[in-house]
Amino acid sequence: MLYAIMATDKPESLADRLAQRPAHLARLDALKNEGRLVLAGPFPAVDSIDPSPAGFSGSLIVAEFASLADAAAWAEADPYRVSGVYQAVTVKPFKHVLP
């Protein structure tokens, strides 16, 4: 089943986010290579494709997991969560309708 992982960054997280980005992307690439990743990306903190230095306010990941518990465990082990970039993470079942 698909799950939406919605994360909120702590304030002033850009430097920490950039430091953890390679490890974060490696985990997303693993999901992609397994055919389980639907989409992933950050929320710019301002209305701009390149929000620097404002950074980002969080992230959205939609991916396939065996259960809600598995999705939550995956999210909790993400380098952004472990390092404190994400101050809050919500995981919910997701039904893909369009496109």
C-beta neighbour count of 41 within 10 angstroms: 11
CA gap 75, 7 in Å, rounded: 9
Which tens digits make up the pLDDT trace of 48-65?
A: 989 989 999 999 999 999
In the chain, the number of structural domains is 1
Whole-model pTM over 0.85? yes
Instruction: Judge whether 90 lies within some domain.
Output: yes
Domain assignment present for residue 31? The answer is: yes
> Does some domain include residue 65?
yes
Residue 36: which CATH number? 3.30.70.1060
| Structural domain of 73 | 2-94
User: Cα(25)–Cα(21) distance, rounded to whole angstroms?
Assistant: 6
Q: Which residue has the higher pLDDT, 86 or 52?
A: 86
Token pair, residue 37, equals: 């990743």
Model pLDDT, residue 44:
97
Instruction: Tell me the pairing of strands 37-44 and 56-64.
Output: antiparallel
Task: Give the per-residue pLDDT at 40.
Answer: 98
Q: Is 99 domain-assigned?
A: no
Q: Is the peptide bond before 99 cis (omega within 30 degrees of 0)?
A: yes
Residue 91 pLDDT level (bands cut at 50, 70, 90): very high
